[in-house]
Chains A and B, each alone.
Chain A
Amino acid sequence: MKSKEIICIVCPNGCYLEIEKKGDEYVVRGNKCPRGKIYGVKELTNPTRVVTTTVKIKDGKLKMLPVKTRDPIPKNKISACMRAVDKIEVKPPISVGDVLVQNIAGTHVDLIASRSV
């Protein structure tokens, strides 16, 4: 099989990865760290992203709370996740890392607060 070239987005280094499928195995080249290898394989089999966005704060000095998915979610679930986030309103006090929604949009990933208010 022909190899595929992608750019690793795990960290700001942006390594150019070359991924080749050999039988059931994927061979990744160009990665500077082990996370690059994991990313490369995943990007070909099940691409995922961490979603960062905001939710409305009720009765707070701040109007919006920054939030994120604790772990990456499948790319094709991003818009479902955004729609789910749109419906939420939170009330202080909130601590960074607090779970706001469990299993957001059926991804088995929690939506957590990115700051304390």
Chain B
Amino acid sequence: MLTYEIVVIGGGPAGLAAAIEAKKNGIESILIIERDGELGGILQQCIHNGFGLHVFKEELTGPEYAEKFIHELKQMGIAYKLDTMVLDINKDKEIHAINTIDGFMTIKAGAVILAMGCRERTRGAINIPGTRPAGIYTAGTAQRFVNMEGHKVGKRVVILGSGDIGLIMARRMTLEGAKVLAVVELMPFSGGLTRNIVQCLEDYNIPLLLSHTLTEIRGKDRVEGIVIAKVDENKKIIPGTEQEFDCDTLLLSVGLIPENELSYNAGIELDPITYGPTVNEAMETSVEGIFACGNVVHVHDLVDFVTQESRRAGKNAAGYIKKEIKKESQTVHTHPEKGIRYIVPQRVRIANVGQKLDLFMRVDNVYQDVYMVVKINDKEIKRIKKKHLAPGEMESLEIQKDDLVCEEGSMISILLEKEGA
């Protein structure tokens, strides 16, 4: 049996940052387990720029961002295993993993950091009717084919979903010579960053069809066409608004889901909204000594925030090993209310809060000119004016330690209030 103080599962941006931070906080024995053939995770196929503005104050491509961490990790001598798949983890922090070189391994960890990231939602998950031909790809799969393997996936393309990956792929496919006919979005607003709508769609005259949905896929062997239609405010199809596209390819960019099979099988509590583990202020899951960070907890829109969150997880996992974390403490819960979909962390042990507590959340709709209101047991402690809020953009706020006047079982709730209400 192998033994490490900290085992990090996943060598993408979350795992890299967590491992580096744990080492900086005095942990010597760390292992990263990565299932792919190289470190860096999904960043390696995100060849576009826009990464690193918060963490490095410069604009980097995905591979450049990853390389900075990989370089630092190697300099620090942190161990990692590539092409290695974790089969299961248990509550005693025993990990079973396999690869072609070491074979079957049992690894005992003092603390585990889950950093498995997320996966894409598929056609089945959103129940798109029609035939089942070749030519339907999730945007990420197409991205891998194009950017990593150098293949072409199609000539005439429609993209369903205007999340960032969909927008980025609209530009990428265009640059690679395909004709992107439209990006189709069910909601009345795009799920992606505004800058991506400008530089990926508007720059190339690709139409963005909001409040539209896919009603049919045609073609027996390969996609031959698709039909879309307009939807009303209840997302119901408006009859007579159907339009056909003659295309050979459909890309799906219809959301990401934290990848939590290992967490679920380990008996870790999952949040029904985020689909990720519930965590406390230390990014520790419901199982003591198992931490989680990055997209496995909740899907982030910027890798910079993944890095920041993962550094906290790495630091706290180190603190856990060094027994610096106070386990006995008043615990309060966070609670999303009107307008807020979820809050991370879900639990806060007051004794471990430093000068301030950072909370992260997403809203459930597009809002203009609202207040984000923080309450402890119905007593308002903070109110922040927000000009523009959208579900596609993660929000965060700080609560000063002095404001955290609460007792065991208290509830920190966050809600939106209209201006003047």
**Is chain B in direct contact with chain A in the complex (CB below 8 A)?**
yes
Contact indicator per residue, chain A 53-81, by CB within 8 Å of chain B (1) or not (0)? 11010000011101010000001001000
Mark B residues whose CB is within 8 Å of A. 44, 47-50, 53, 59, 61-64, 66-67, 146-150, 175, 193-199, 203, 301-302
Contact indicator per residue, chain A 27-38, by CB within 8 Å of chain B (1) or not (0)? 000000000000
Please indicate the chain A residues that have their CB under 8 angstroms from the CB of B63 in the complex: 66, 96, 114-115
Complex: A115 Cα to B44 Cα, angstroms: 9
> Is A109 an interface residue, CB under 8 A from the partner?
no
**What's the count of A-B pairs with C-beta under 8 Å?**
75
A83 to chain B, nearest CB (A): 10
Please indicate the chain A residues that have their CB under 8 angstroms from the CB of B193 in the complex: 12, 14
Pull 24 A–B residue pairs with CB atoms less than 8 Å apart, ordered by A. Answer: A7-B195, A7-B197, A9-B196, A11-B195, A12-B195, A12-B301, A12-B302, A50-B49, A52-B47, A52-B49, A53-B175, A54-B147, A56-B150, A63-B148, A64-B148, A64-B149, A66-B61, A66-B62, A66-B147, A82-B175, A96-B64, A114-B64, A115-B44, A115-B64
Please indicate the chain A residues that have their CB under 8 angstroms from the CB of B198 in the complex: 6-7, 9
Mark A residues whose CB is within 8 Å of B. 6-12, 14, 49-54, 56, 62-64, 66, 68, 75, 78, 82, 96, 114-116
A44 to chain B, nearest CB (A): 14
Please indicate the chain A residues that have their CB under 8 angstroms from the CB of B64 in the complex: 96, 114-115
The 8 closest A-B pairs by CB, nearest first: A14-B194, A9-B195, A115-B63, A66-B47, A114-B61, A64-B150, A114-B63, A66-B63
Q: Is B59 a contact partner of A11 (Cβ separation < 8 A)? A: yes
Complex: A50 Cα to B148 Cα, angstroms: 20
Q: Is B199 a contact partner of A9 (Cβ separation < 8 A)? A: yes
A67 to chain B, nearest CB (A): 8
B301 to chain A, nearest CB (A): 8
Q: Is B59 a contact partner of A52 (Cβ separation < 8 A)? A: no
In this complex, what residue of B is CB-closest to A13? B195
A51 to chain B, nearest CB (A): 8
In this complex, what residue of B is CB-closest to A78? B175
Complex: A9 Cα to B301 Cα, angstroms: 16
Complex: A104 Cα to B237 Cα, angstroms: 48
In this complex, what residue of B is CB-closest to A11? B53
Q: Find B194's partner among A7, A52, A53, A114 (CB 8 Å cutoff).
A: A7
B167 to chain A, nearest CB (A): 12
Please indicate the chain A residues that have their CB under 8 angstroms from the CB of B196 in the complex: 9
15 A-B pairs besides A53-B47, A66-B62, A82-B175 with CB distance below 8 A are: A7-B194, A7-B197, A7-B198, A9-B195, A10-B195, A12-B195, A49-B199, A49-B203, A50-B59, A52-B61, A63-B150, A64-B149, A96-B63, A115-B63, A115-B67
